[in-house]
Amino acid sequence: MQAVTCACALLVVVPLALVFYHVLKSGIGALNWAFFTQLPKPVGEPGGGMANAIVGTFELLGLAALLGVPVGVCGGIFLSEYGYTRLNWWIRFAADVLNGVPSIIWGMVVCALVVVPMQGFSAWAGGLVLGFIMIPLIMRTTEEVLRLVPQGYREAALALGIPLRRAILRIVARAALKGIVTGILLALARVAGETAPLLFTAFGNVYWNHHLSEPIAALPLQIFNYAISPYEESHRQAWAGALVLLFMVAIINVAVRALTRERFGKIP
């Protein structure tokens, strides 16, 4: 029986290995300096790159973090430090519900909320929807990390006469900082790969985005558009883009693992 379960476990790893292998194999060939510096060429033409998509992803992540990090961290602080039992239960419940909402629904909502009044797709809308997705994620992880800070820290701080707000910010949150940063990085890695909400908010762009109220390209969006196009050249570019995106996400996850590995006795 041990062999059967271990066989199942290895079977589970097989798709991951295949995906990595194919992304590496097909992506490496199309990766060159032009890929990182040039705009997409017209359909069917060889060459070109995804420079605008890579920069666009970073821009969108920055906007999303601008919204998601303060709201999420402050919300997590409230949930953990202020003990209004009924209210906190409802807030946690709402955060869990939001975590379960499919990302395409988020896209529809922000499209109706922002894109229609602004009469156009924009980086603002894309950053907003990614930030919305990040808020409940960061809120829950921040709360859980803050709960792990020993009670003695808070009591000692208050006993010294430090005001509550400074006790929370400078002592409790600082003690949990590594965990909070880990949560933020994980949320960023998660939204970096989100495509569906960007379909109707950022929309994608084959040129550089010069203003945040213009549509903006993003790596997963560009990969999707290339993947479903009929041109072989576009497929090659899609694989290369997938390699870059996978690399980005893997780097963030490795960083998170490195940050959390220093705890001894961590059970896998």
Partner 1 sequence: MTTQSPLRATPGALSRQGAGDQVFKWLMLTMALSVIALIFIIGCELAHGSGPALRKFGWRFLTGTDWDPVHERFGALPFIFGTVVSSVIALGIAVPLSIATAVCLTELAPQWLRQALSLFIELLAAVPSVILGLWGIFVMVPWLRQSMFPWLRGALGFLPLFQGPIYGVSLLAGGIIIAIMIVPIITSVSREVLRSVPGLQREAAYALGATRWEVTRIAVLSYARKGLFGAVILGLGRALGETMAVTMVIGNRPEIAASLFAPGYTLASVVANEFTETPPGVNLEALFEIGLVLLGITLLVNALARLLLATFSGPALSTS
Positions 49 through 68 that interact with partner 1 (CB under 8 A) = none
Q: Using CB under 8 A, which of the segments 35-43, 47-55, 141-149, 173-181 binds partner 1? A: 141-149
Positions 96 through 115 that interact with partner 1 (CB under 8 A) = 96-109, 111-113
Instruction: Give the per-residue contact string, 145-164, with partner 1 (x = CB under 8 A; - = no).
Output: -xxx-xx--xx--x----xx
Nearer Cβ to partner 1, position 82 or 207? 82
For residue 86, the tally of other CB atoms under 10 A from its CB is 7
Instruction: Give the per-residue contact string, 71-90, with partner 1 (x = CB under 8 A; - = no).
Output: xx-xx-xxxxxxx------x
Instruction: Report in angstroms how near the CB of residue 196 gets to partner 1 at its nearest.
Output: 4
Q: Between helices 85-99 and 123-147, what is the axis angle to 10°?
A: 130
Comparing CA positions, the residue from 43, 103, 54 lying closest to residue 222 is 54
251 in contact with partner 1 (CB under 8 A): no
Instruction: Report in angstroms how near the CB of residue 10 gets to partner 1 at its nearest.
Output: 8
CB burial readout 142-154, b (16+ within 10 A) else e: bbebbeebeeeeb
Separation CA 246–CA 21 (nearest Å): 12
> What would the two tokens of residue 259 be?
């940050």
Q: Using CB under 8 A, which of the segments 48-56, 137-145, 173-181, 206-214 binds partner 1? A: 137-145
